[in-house]
Amino acid sequence: MYKKAGFTAHYNYLLNKKISVREILFILLFILCLTPVVSAPLALLLGILVAQWIGHPFLAVNHKATQILLQFSVVGLGFGMHIDSAIQTGRDGFLLTVISIIGTLLLGFVLAKFLNLEKLTAYLITVGTAICGGSAIAAVSPAVKANEKQISVALGTIFILNAIALFVFPVIGRALDLSQTQFGLWCAVAIQDTSSVVGAASKYGSEALQVATTVKLTRALWIIPISLLSALAFNTKGTGIKIPYFIGLFILAIILNSYIPFFQEIGTHVVHISKIGLTLTLFLIGASLSKDVILSVGYKAILQGLLLWLCLAVPVLLYIYFFL
* Residue pLDDT, tens place only, 215-274: 998 888 888 888 888 888 887 665 566 667 888 899 899 999 999 999 999 999 999 999
pTM, 2 dp: 0.85
Per-residue confidence (pLDDT) for residue 63, from 0 to 100:
87
The parent domain of residue 228 ranges over 2-323
CA–CA separation, 90 vs 63, rounded Å?
29
pLDDT at 20: 85
Confidence tier at 2 by pLDDT (50, 70, 90): very low
State how many domains the chain has.
1
**Model confidence at 4, in pLDDT bands (50, 70, 90)?**
low
Q: Which helix (H) or strand (E) holds 108?
A: helix 83-115
**Per-residue pLDDT tens digits for 178-207:** 999 999 999 999 999 999 999 999 999 999
Identify which of 266, 215, 249 has the alpha carbon closest to the alpha carbon of residue 73: 249
Which residue, 14, 33, 92, 24, is CA-closest to 282?
Answer: 33
What per-residue confidence (pLDDT) applies to 298? Answer: 86
Query: For residue 157, what are the CA distances in angstroms to 70, 102, 192?
Result: 19, 20, 10
Q: Cα–Cα distance between 312 and 101 in angstroms, integer?
A: 9
Task: Give the per-residue pLDDT at 276.
Answer: 94
Dihedral of CA atoms 80, 82, 86, 88 in degrees, nearest 10, equals -140
Instruction: For residues 63-87, give the mean pLDDT.
Output: 89
Of 293 and 6, which is predicted with more confidence? 293
Q: Which positions ≥6 away from 112 have C-beta within 8 Å?
A: 119, 122, 123, 126, 304
| pLDDT per position as a tens digit, 105-128 | 999 999 999 999 999 999 999 999
